[in-house]
Amino acid sequence: MNLANKEIEAVNGVKIPQVGFGVYKITKTGDFETAVGEAIKIGYRHFDTAKIYGNEKALGIEIQKSKIPREEFFITSKVWNTELGYEATKKAFERTCRNLNIEYIDMYLIHFAAPSYIEAWRAMEELYLEGKIKVIGVANFEVQHLERLMKHSKITPMINQIETHPEFPQDELHNYLAKNKILHEAWAPLGQGNKELFKNTVLKEIASHHEKTVAQVILRWHIQRGIIIIPKSSNPKRIKENIQLFDFELSSEEMKKISQLNTGKRYSHSPTGYMVNPLYNKIMKMFIK
């Protein structure tokens, strides 16, 4: 089975499947094999991992097991805070390639705007020019981080992966990214599965009208905003539903109703808050040893 997907072009012409599959927090071997194996069988080809997730090797194994040509996959990974810097980032990139058992990475991101991200970007620019990375970008960057990076770079970030969902649509940052030809990618596109969001009467009415689930309506809202999404699930039924988004369309009125659900509520910490919290970084250093 190979369900329909759409592609979004980065500024350099590289095509990115608009619906990807996130593997954050899927670490148990059995769960990982089932979820990713099912996703590949259904037709997902865009997979999003990171050094800090601890499952790069597991993803590489599932891709190898599929017997599907490498070039049909679009694989994303990210360099972690404690491995930022020119030499450190190059070493981190090589380790990620070994973990995934691949020779190039389709998309490589700086996970947070932690210290030394300017030097890390310089290393990524070189890897990109060598053809080892197809798309270079960042994650969890605010406008001030992007402004600083662009002042000290030869290549503008091609994508920014940020928390985005109906209660936190990131309108201001979304518009900034569009203006600067930086793609917007959403993590936690379903609000981390928040039960209250799924009970929202507006979303339930729209879902009923289209004979779709609330999750499909939320994901379709992202699609129509031109956002790349990486929903995550270990449930085979939901894995399939999360990519069945191209056989219906939300009206402008429905899009407007969903935009009015904005409460400014993050389900995670502010990226800036992460960076100024020394305890957080100390714990993370211990975690990835």
Domains and CATH numbers, the chain: 7-287 (3.20.20.100)
Rounded to an integer, what distance in angstroms lies between the CA atom of residue 82 and that of residue 282?
10
Which pLDDT score is estimated for 289? 35
pLDDT at residue 271, rounded to an integer: 86
Angle between helices 56-66 and 29-42 (to 10 degrees): 40
Lowest average pLDDT, out of 47-56, 64-73, 260-269, goes to 260-269
pTM: 0.93
From 44, 53, 108, 274, the catalytic residue? 53
Residue 282 reports pLDDT greater than 70:
no
Query: Would you say residue 215 has pLDDT above 70?
Result: yes
Q: Which two tokens stand for residue 195?
A: 């039960």
Question: Looking at residue 283, what is its pLDDT?
Answer: 45
How is 179-244 classified by DSSP, letter by letter? HTT-EEEEESTTGGG-HHHHT-HHHHHHHHHHT--HHHHHHHHHHHTT-EE----S-HHHHHHTT-
Give residue 270's pLDDT: 83
Active site residue 44: no
Q: For 134-138, what is the mean pLDDT? A: 98
Question: Is the per-residue pLDDT at 272 higher than 80?
Answer: no
**Region 266-278: what's the mean pLDDT?**
69
CA 94 – CA 80 distance, rounded (Å): 13
Q: How far apart are CA 49 and CA 35, in angstroms?
A: 14
What pLDDT was estimated at residue 27? Answer: 84
Quick check: 274 pLDDT over 90?
A: no
Query: How many C-beta neighbours within 10 Å does residue 67 have?
Result: 6
Q: What's the pLDDT at 287?
A: 38
Q: Is 272:142 a contact under the CB 8 Å cutoff?
A: yes
pLDDT bracket for residue 273 (50, 70, 90): low
Q: What is the pLDDT of residues 33-46, one digit of tens each?
A: 999 999 999 999 99
Annotated binding site for substrate: 111
Residue 151 in tokens: 């002042």
| Residue % of the chain over a pLDDT of 70 | 93
Whole-angstrom Cα Rg for the chain:
18
